Amino acid sequence: MALARSFRALGFYDVITNLVPGALWIGALILLLPVDELIQGLPSGVVVGGFLTLAYVTGHLLQALGSWADSPTTFGDTLTAIQNETPATAPITVTYVEESFLTLCEQQFTLPSDFEHYGKLLKMVLSYLETTPYTRALRFQSVYSFHRSMWAASWSLLVVLAVLGGLSALGHSLLPSITVTGGVTIAALVGVAVFWNRKNKFDKTFVKYLFVDFYNAQQSTVSGNSGPGS
């Protein structure tokens, strides 16, 4: 079955950043809305396949929602602190590795010394790291993206609950029992707080390893070029 092959082809980080948040969000929605009648009589394979497909698509939408609602600043703030020669104001500890980053980028990407498009620079560095063995930063970026998606899933569920509560107040009773509604609400509130803190933590971890991986990749290139026969 083509759908089954497609899901088996997903990498580990595709699963944790897209499929898991999407599945949890759809699962919460199933608890809140009467969907039993819609899937009654359908073959189990169709139900499972439809759920996984919807979860994966929802995961991508949550990624986009998280990206829209949250703009990480660790990378840009660190580079600004380095350029202003005020390393103490950076959100992470600045060492020689971080201080040499911009110079190495200028050499690697042939950039002018006044290049300050940090968002574009980040994309260039990530693309470069994908071609090297130094990919811990990419893994931490996926972990950060997972926590950001879970944060987006949590607060968007609160929006859904508010809408359903408003409709119920107008006489359109859509909410399930108080136990289910209360459980989902508490889980969403806890999720907002927990995943907000976790995504901020992993944003810093990702940026720390970004500097380290890029520096190591550059040093590896220099060592290779200066080796025998060069």
pLDDT tens for each residue of 82-118: 999 999 999 999 999 999 999 999 999 999 988 889 9
Residue 43, pLDDT above cutoff 90:
no
Residue 151, pLDDT above cutoff 50:
yes
Q: Residue 64: which of 17, 29, 20, 13 has the closest Cα? A: 17
Q: What is the arithmetic mean of pLDDT over 163-191?
A: 86
Residue 223, pLDDT above cutoff 80:
no
Per-residue confidence (pLDDT) for residue 227, from 0 to 100? 43
Per-residue confidence (pLDDT) for residue 15, from 0 to 100? 75
Question: Whole-angstrom Cα distance, residue 51 to residue 19?
Answer: 10
Are 199 and 146 a contacting pair, CB within 8 Å? no
Are 72 and 92 a contacting pair, CB within 8 Å? no
Report helix angle 101-109 to 178-225, nearest 10: 70
Per-residue confidence (pLDDT) for residue 228, from 0 to 100? 40
Compute, in degrees rounded to 10, the torsion defined by CA atoms 190, 194, 197, 199: -120
Q: Residue 149: which of 50, 66, 93 has the closest Cα? A: 66
Question: Whole-angstrom Cα distance, residue 218 to residue 177?
Answer: 59
Type of residue found at 14: D
Residue 229, pLDDT above cutoff 70:
no
Are 156 and 184 a contacting pair, CB within 8 Å? no
pLDDT digits (tens, 9 = 90+) for 196-222: 999 999 999 999 999 999 999 999 877
Residue 63, pLDDT above cutoff 80:
yes
DSSP type of residue 19: I
pLDDT band per the 50, 70, 90 thresholds, residue 121: very high
Residue 75 dihedral angles phi and psi, to the nearest 5°: -60, -50
Query: pTM for this structure?
Result: 0.85
The dihedral built from the CA positions of residue 190, 191, 192 and 197, taken in this order, carries a sign that is: positive
pLDDT band per the 50, 70, 90 thresholds, residue 225: low
